[in-house]
Amino acid sequence: MTEVYRIHSPQSDNSAILRAAETLRRGGLVAFPTETVYGLGANALDAAAVSRIFAAKGRPTINPLIVHVARVEKARELASEWPEAAERLAERFWPGPLTLVLPKRRIVPEIVAAGAATVGLRIPAHPVARALLEAAEVPVAAPSANRSNEISPTTAEHVRKSLGDAVSVLLDGGPTPGGLESTVLDLSSDRPRLLRPGLIAPAEIEALIGPIDRAPTVARDSHQPQRSPGQLPRHYAPRAAMECRAIAGRARVEQLAHEGIRVGWLALGGDDRPIPGVTTIAMPTSSADYAAQLYSALHMLDDVGVERIIVDLPPDTDEWLAIRDRLWRGSVQ
Ligand code: TXA
Ligand code: MG
């Protein structure tokens, strides 16, 4: 049975935080909120504990995990190099939704790095995550707290439904504010490279450290070599087949509904009057609000049991990059 604790504030619910921290130190799995999505954590220095994450998620062992720490000094203890770019980015964006990939020290077990010579590091900003990391006193490896290839969880309920009793302790801190996974930036080779777009936009990074290589998204080119399994097509996907429409989403929805198909529609900024038999969700026109609501909208459509999801595609601008990336991945068959 999973122990579930509702955390209103880390101070008033300190005993639950201490319980979760102790569970981590003993090799158990703890799900916790971050400012992006819920994570499924284990002591990153304990290979046996980390292997339980892979088992619980059904995650391929070729996919490395992000290690979460409470402070910059702790991150530096896990990286064998700490370039100027890391220093600047950490100072500006940590705590926050940015993961830096750096050469790892030997202390980081192979299983965390999926056999690579690097480690992904981040300091999350969510108060519950920070309190947990402080109390645990160990670095915490944590992928998103969902079965592999499913949609990431933005509520404790999503975690419970996806992972069931595989989690020892679940800290319920309410819905996560950001709603999309962190930006992953590789600093381990000569030129910084964006491995996964996220809540921090490439332009914000470039303003600080100069030009970076922007990873092609699935939409632009699916034939590039994959540096990060999060870049694999067909990731972050709902159960229903999803279709992105740059134009005429409504007409497509009407056509499918007419054919008797149960349709869910993520409508954006146009005519979203209800269509009989269609589950319509009017999505926010601000990218930050859209990001915060996207996964819960997809979870909801899965729960309703629609057969097809039609998405009005947001504009092709930097601001919407991470959202478009997840929408395209979710729609790859
Ligand atoms: O916002 C987030 O990043 C959330 C929260 C829980 O922190 N975590 C998350 O973890 O999304 P996960 O495992 O679902 O995605 C981690 C991504 C994957 O695409 C993985 O391949 C990549 O980061 N990654 C991790 N370590 C890496 C490394 N050493 N080299 C290259 N890519 C790495
Ligand atoms: Mg994930």
Find the ligand nearest to 125 CA: 1
| CATH for 241-330, options being 1.10.150.20, 1.10.10.10, 3.40.50.11030, 3.40.710.10 | 3.40.50.11030
Dump the DSSP string for 94-146: -SSSEEEEEEBPTTS-HHHHTT-SEEEEE----HHHHHHHHHH-S-EE--BSS
Helix 202-209 with 84-93: angle, nearest 10 deg: 130
Dump the DSSP string for 197-232: --SS-HHHHHHHH---EEPPPTTT-S-SPPSSGGGS
CA-closest residue to ligand 1 atom 6: 39
Compute, in angstroms, the gap from residue 101 CA to the centroid of ligand 2: 16
CA-closest residue to ligand 1 atom 12: 143
* Residue 242, token pair as written in the block: 């999803």
Compute, in angstroms, the gap from residue 259 CA to the centroid of ligand 2: 34
242 phi/psi in degrees, rounded to 5: -115, 145
Q: Domain 3-209 - what CATH class? A: alpha beta
Binding-site residues, ligand 1, Cβ < 6 A: 34, 36-37, 39, 63-66, 97, 99, 101, 113, 116, 118-120, 124, 142-144, 181-182, 184, 195-196, 228-230
3-state DSSP assignment of residue 175: coil
Compute, in angstroms, the gap from residue 121 CA to the centroid of ligand 1: 9
CA-closest residue to ligand 1 atom 17: 230
**Closest CA relative to residue 198, chosen from 68, 324, 12:** 324
* Residue 301, token pair as written in the block: 């459509």
Find the ligand nearest to 69 CA: 1
Q: Give the predicted TM-score (pTM) of the model.
A: 0.94
pLDDT at 251: 95
Domain range annotation of the chain? 3-209, 241-330
3-state DSSP assignment of residue 313: coil
Compute, in angstroms, the gap from residue 142 CA to the centroid of ligand 2: 9
pLDDT at 333: 62
What is the bridge-based pairing of β-strands 183-186 and 38-43?
Answer: unpaired
Find the ligand nearest to 33 CA: 1
Quick check: 8 and 131 in contact, CB under 8 A?
Answer: no
Render each residue's pLDDT in the chain as its tens digit; 333 residues: 999 999 999 999 999 999 999 999 999 999 999 999 999 999 999 999 999 999 999 999 999 999 999 999 999 999 999 999 999 999 999 999 999 999 999 999 999 999 999 999 999 999 999 999 999 999 999 999 999 989 999 999 999 999 999 999 999 999 999 999 999 999 999 899 999 999 999 999 999 999 999 865 544 444 443 445 555 555 667 889 999 999 889 999 999 999 999 999 999 988 889 899 999 999 999 999 999 999 999 999 999 999 999 999 999 999 999 999 999 988 876
Dump the DSSP string for 10-43: TTTTHHHHHHHHHHHHTT--EEEE-SSSEEEEEE
Q: Is 333 exposed, middle or buried (0-12, 13-18, 19+ CB in 10 A)?
A: exposed
Burial annotation 259-284 (CB, 10 A radius, 16+ → b, else e): eebbbbbbbbeeebeebeebbbbbbe
pLDDT at 88: 98
Spatial separation of the C-alpha atoms in residues 238 and 151, rounded to whole Å: 6
Cα 153 to the chain's mean position, in Å?
Answer: 8
CA-closest residue to ligand 1 atom 32: 228
